[in-house]
Chains A and B, each alone.
Chain A
Amino acid sequence: MMRFWPFVLFVVLAGFLYVGLHLDPREIPSPLVGKTAPKFTLALLQEPAKQFSTEQMKGQVWLLNVWASWCVSCKEEHPVLMALAERKLVPIYGLDYKDKREDGMAWLNNGGNPYVLSMSDLEGRIGIDYGVYGVPETYVIDKQGTIQYKQIGPVTPDNLREKILPLVAELQAK
């Protein structure tokens, strides 16, 4: 029955691909959108002695950007975030996802740091709470701590202009 193996394996694969189509991150909006952002307290990337807590962000509209030094798309996204940070429209907080501390720090020191603060999510636990599928991802979180939007993949000037910034302005006005 050896000769049926390739076929059987392929059928299994096709099953996975079919399920994968329905799991597609672009097709289904994150179930977290509209819900309270999962709370967490994490050590800062650059000053591990200090901690960041989502609690301290109450009353502010902010962006949580999940990034990593090993992530290629982040390199594409990085200049866009730098430009955004310069405009000081909204604070960007970084979550360095499954990254070595020194690699993450080198990235910020060398490439430029668009973040107010970066947290280090060494094991990716916070990433799981937030349903991070692929890095980079960006969340728009409102004053009450509710996730209002999730961007999967790199932020581009287009979707900044069309989605994220109008949403931020609207939330800040509330």
Chain B
Amino acid sequence: MIPELGHFSLIIALCLALTLGILPILGAARNNAVLMGVARPLAYGQFVFIALAFATLANAFLGNDFSVLYVAEHSNSQLPAQYRFAAIWGGHEGSLLLWAFILSIWTAAVATFSKHLPEEMVARVLGVMGLVAVGFLLFMLFTSSPFERLLPAAADGRDLNPLLQDPGLVIHPPMLYMGYVGFSVAFAFAIAALIGGKLDATWARWSRPWTTVAWVFMTIGIGLGSSWAYYVLGWGGWWFWDPVENASFMPWLVGTGLIHSLAVTEKRGAFKSWTVLLAIAAFSLSLLGTFLVRSGVLTSVHSFASDPKRGIFILSFLVVVIGVSLLLFAWRAPKIGLGGKFDMLSRESLLLSNNVLLSVASASVFIGTLYPLFMDALGFGKLSVGPPYFQAVFVPLMFPMVLMMGLGPMARWKKMAVPELAKRVRWGFASSVVIALLLPLVLGHWTPLIALGLMMAFWIIASLVISLRSRLSGQGELLKRVRAQSLSYYGMQLAHLGVAVFIIGVTMVKGFETERDVRMNVGDTVQAGGYEFRFFGVTDTTGPNYVAGVGRVTVSKNGQFVTELLPEKRQYNVSGMPITQAAISTGLFRDLYVSLGEPIPESEGAWAVRVYIKPFVDWIWFGCLLMALGGVLAISDRRYRVHSKKAAAVPTEGAEQKLSVEGQPV
């Protein structure tokens, strides 16, 4: 009976979402306080019932209820409990339920933290989010219910894809979905503002913290996914330009543009229509990502559960949501206006250029991802686009972007004289060029790409130092001056530092990695990057639901023992699928990475072994983490705390003004 309760909860949630999508928006149009007032209770109700459905499914997974088709397809009684829980989002139906669940969390959160907003705004925002939920709930109930029965029940389940049986995969999808779905808040604010016809700076101020939170989740989600690929696929790569990776990267790029654009709109009232368009685009790309993953239009490593028939439904939903939004935009756009004026060189112009570059970068990823589909649809034959395209397009776009990223925080709003800016940055620029030219020589390997990468990273760091110095210089105690800067300023700088750290990671690993793929007999050694790896053979072992061969490799440097690594080759009992589990010794400056290839048939005990030295590779994910932390700092800024207390109190104009002096973070 319990799974049916889950299904029933979804139906109730659909009714609530439908009401939420209609009544409050109607109420806002008619200025009817009663109709607007139902928005919050409906949002909470929707959350409760979707949560109930989610709990029901979790219960079925944890209790090994194989009379539920979805559980039988994605779980097994041997599967450890944490993976039985994560298996909820191991397939299509459960992923959708997670999507809807997270959407209901965001909706309830907006309902809770919007006490200071005008009623009609809240009504419209929650209404729009309700309509989005309607689409997903309909999709689930009509084409992909996770509560379908399998009668008679299966004796045991088919097991979760072994690639997904990993701690990273337990948290990666929820994080990523928090990001994807989080952009629905900015979207809902933009649509609400379009409906209301009031596109001033206020909607930007309200939706900014929400957008930043979503962006933080997304950044962490993408970073986790990338590190998973690094240690599970066993080939030492960390980004493959796979369609599904791209599907998450596109909204991230546009979302990054959006948080910057929102800042300009809030502070200066400029780029109003551009910001609205970005808000629509970020969420549209999130929906498109869902479409790409779930419809099977593109083949990819990640399409674990695709079904073309469902594609029609998602596409229709996509057309309705995005089409209507863009029409609304076209209809309302003339009212928006361009906003505040600014000069050729100003913080606005730099931010606008970066916004354009981020959008172009996103568009280029988009074209690369969908190009095979376009060509096929036009009858030009079948082809595929590989990493060379993405690298060729991406790196040239990164360079000007990073250049302006350094200048932006130092430039003034409205107007900045070229000589003044040049004077402020010349030493930073010169030193980053010198370091970039010399450092690779010191490290023993000079290529233009290494130099370029290092230059970009050091330029960001140098401009950060310059900005900090000028902010913190002056009279009196240093600590006081440090405290005087807003948290959002530090947040921005931390996030930018994250980009620098990320670039260092990418540059160093691309430029200096050592890869040795060798056949090793027991007792053989191999030298790589100054380390000696000794292979002690492979012994058999059993895990909870797999059998594995565990290789033992000791690493030494100059005769000194460094570490012992135990790479595994697992074979999962139910699916019979072999999985490589690389053994990695993580270090600040290098990873030692060993993974088992295949046993060599002719000789007993010999294996193909992959030995990689990956310098600075962890900086890639550390950079992502810093970006995310920067976002967290930015939303902890006191003006947001001030805001939430402000409802009853006097407006704290002083605080606002103090924060909008020259050099204000974005």
Contact = CB atoms under 8 A, between A and B. Distances in A.
Interface of A: 2-4, 6-7, 10-11, 14, 16-21, 23-27, 68, 70-73, 75-76, 79-80, 82-83, 86, 98, 106, 109-112, 124, 127-128, 131-135, 152-154, 156-158, 161
B311 A24 contact: yes
Nearest to B234: A75
B517 interface: yes
A11 B323 contact: yes
Contact of B576 (A18, A133, A161): A161
Interface stretch (B33-41, B372-380, B427-435, B535-543): B372-380
Contacts of A106: 517
Given A111-B608, A133-B299, A135-B384, 15 more contacts: A6-B277, A7-B330, A10-B284, A20-B377, A24-B296, A24-B308, A24-B311, A26-B296, A70-B386, A72-B301, A79-B580, A109-B517, A111-B598, A111-B610, A134-B384
Nearest to A97: B384
B326 A6 contact: yes
Contacts of A11: 323
Contact of A16 (B330, B374, B382): B374
6 contacts: A3-B273, A10-B326, A26-B299, A72-B233, A72-B242, A157-B577
Interface string B375-397: 01100011110111000000000
A86 B600 CA distance: 10
Interface residues of B, number: 61
A79 B517 CA distance: 16
A21 B382 contact: no
A110 B370 CA distance: 32
A23 B373 contact: yes
B306 interface: yes
B476 interface: no
Nearest to B292: A17
Nearest to A154: B301
Contact of B382 (A80, A131, A153, A156): A131
A14 B315 contact: yes
B146 to A, nearest CB: 21
Nearest to A99: B386
Contacts of B334: 3
B589 interface: no
A45 to B, nearest CB: 17
B597 interface: yes
A24 B297 contact: yes
Given A16-B374, A20-B376, A157 B575 contact: yes
A111 B517 contact: yes
B610 A110 contact: yes
Interface string B295-309: 111111101001010
A153 B244 CA distance: 14
B578 interface: yes
Contacts of B329: 3, 6-7
Nearest to B323: A10
Given A16-B373, A21-B311, A86-B601, A112 B608 contact: yes
Given A10-B323, A14-B315, A26 B308 contact: yes
A26 B306 contact: yes
Interface in B564-622: 569, 575-578, 580, 597-598, 601, 608, 610
B456 to A, nearest CB: 25
B163 interface: yes
A84 to B, nearest CB: 11
Contacts of A68: 386
Given A7-B330, A25-B299, A20 B373 contact: yes
Contacts of B357: none
A23 B377 contact: yes
A76 B163 contact: yes
Contacts of A10: 284, 322-323, 326
Nearest to B336: A3
Interface in B305-346: 306, 308, 311-312, 315, 318-319, 322-323, 326-327, 329-330, 333-334
